[in-house]
Structures are given as structure tokens and as C-alpha cells.
Amino acid sequence: MNTLIEEYLRARGVRYFRGHHDDEYFFLVDFQSDFCLDASNGRLHVHLEVSGAARNDVQLSITPDRFYPAAKRDLLTSLATRWTAGSGGAEAVVHDSSDPALVGITVLDRFRPTSGAGLAYFVDQSIASAIELFEQVNAEALPAHPGPAVLRDAG
């Protein structure tokens, strides 16, 4: 299974890191969002891990690069529940953070690939779906960014 994961990561050309355990891989995905004018819109942390009793499953978790106000937990839980219902097997989970004023969201999924193409499809689709979720979460849970500052003509 490690060979399939490493082949996928090399084929995608992503810089990846191995975890403390032999069966863990981490990489980052940057994404642009339509709701925000900020040039650096978001980054997802993607974690792939070989799992299962026979070591033939891949467990995937995807988290954004930010936490959200705990006061918006109900809204975030509603968005996560709605997204999970339409995801086809993945689950979005709202969780506490070390700061009581903030909460996080993680997308979790598990897959048993039989080929490199199957693994690539699973991971790519999971990332695309997670981006859609986090774009919606960012649009509804984060304060709107003002437009670019306009400079007045001093001359």
C-alpha cells in the first residue's frame, strides 16, 4: 500500500513528508476561493495513512489551515452535517481546539484501493470535495474581507 501512495504523490508532483510511523504521509494543497479577495486563500493539510487489520485500507484526513470562532459551532456543525450527507461516504467533523474560543473541522474518509488509478481518483475527489466544503465554511463563518484599499490622488 505504501508503494501505491508514494506513486500517487510522485505522479501529482507534490512535496510530501513521511510521518513518525512508516505508513503516514502528509502534504499541502493550496486553493483559491471566489468569495475572498485575499491572494492566499487557503491551504489544506492532507494526511494519508495505511490502516486496517490487513493494512490494505487508506485512511484520509483533510484539515484547513485555520480554526473558526467557537461561537459559530452550530453553523459549522450544520454545514458539516449537510456536506457529509451528500459526500458519498466521507465525514466532516467539527472538533474542539486547544483554544476554547476556536473550533476546527476535519474531513475523514477511508478507502481500499485496488490500483494506483483507484487511489488517485479517491484522493483527488476527496480533496476537491473538501475544498468545496471549506470554501463554503470560509464564506459563511469568517468575516468578509474588505476590497482593496483605494489610494487617493494626492496631486
Sign of CA dihedral 25, 54, 3, 7: negative
In a domain, 151, yes or no: no
Distance CA(2)–CA(24), nearest Å, equals 9
Would you say 107 and 133 are in contact if contact means Cβ atoms under 8 Å apart? yes
**Any domain includes 149:** no
CA–CA dist 42, 59 (Å, integer): 23
In a domain? residue 153: no
Residue 128 lies in a domain: yes
Residue 32: which domain range?
Answer: 2-141
CATH number of the domain that residue 37 is part of: 3.30.1460.10
CA distance 107 to 105: 7
How many domains does the structure of the chain reveal? 1
Determine, yes or no, domain membership for 27. yes
150: in domain = no
* Segment 7-38, tens digit of pLDDT: 999 999 989 998 877 789 999 999 876 555 44
- Judge whether 106 and 95 are in contact, CB under 8 Å: yes
> Is position 148 within any domain?
no
The residue among 106, 116, 2 whose CA lies nearest residue 51 is 2
72-98 residues labelled b (16+ CB within 10 A) or e (exposed): beeebeebbeebbeebeebebebeeee
Q: Is residue 147 part of a domain?
A: no
- pLDDT per residue over 55-104, tens digit each? 888 999 999 999 999 999 999 999 999 999 998 889 999 999 999 999 99
